[in-house]
Amino acid sequence: MKKKRKIYLGKNEREILRMVGTGALVAASLVAPNLPSAFAGKKKKSYRQSFQRAYDKNLIYLSGEKVQLSEKGQKLMEQILSEDIEIKKHEWDGIWRIVSYDIPEDPLKKERSYFRRKLESLGFVELQKSMMVIPYECKEEIAVIAQNLRISPYVMHLITDNLPRQNEFVKRFGLEE
């Protein structure tokens, strides 16, 4: 079985994918003498080279005057958006947010592993197997991650004001008054 090669994206290439994904970049702007304000204060040559690399990697394509993401570019864009997500930590409102998931191992083993690692990196703590908890609002962030991984049907966001072993979690998150 052929192993997929991971695509390395530089900072500028990531930015170009974001701009193409949001429609903030058109092909004419890359050949025009004055690049768009999105490139203000940045090296034009560097961005042209990054644009060319993204094109060479089949992440973007030209469609008339428009630059569009290829299917491969769209998947990478979704991954970038998921990686950039953070949960804002603020004063605890007394509500626990629980993310429960039952993602089938076959064929979604990679997505399941990535989702679990992402939850941990966001600060979630395991409540029990396939159930993670955090004391901060996160419904939208979890929805975006689940949608980008195409696992939304297997993920639930629950809220409660009382947890089993609550004192342990209050201490673990540093929520003591």
pLDDT digits (tens, 9 = 90+) for 51-99: 888 888 888 888 777 788 888 888 888 777 777 788 999 899 999 999 9
3-class SS of residue 94: coil
**CA-based max dimension of the chain:** 63
Can you list the domains of the chain with their CATH numbers? 11-83 (1.10.10.10), 96-172 (3.30.70.240)
Q: What is the pTM of this model?
A: 0.65
| Placement of tokens 């940045």 in the chain | 42
- For the stretch 116-151, pLDDT in tens is 999 999 999 999 999 999 999 999 999 989 988 889
In the chain, % of residues over pLDDT 90: 41
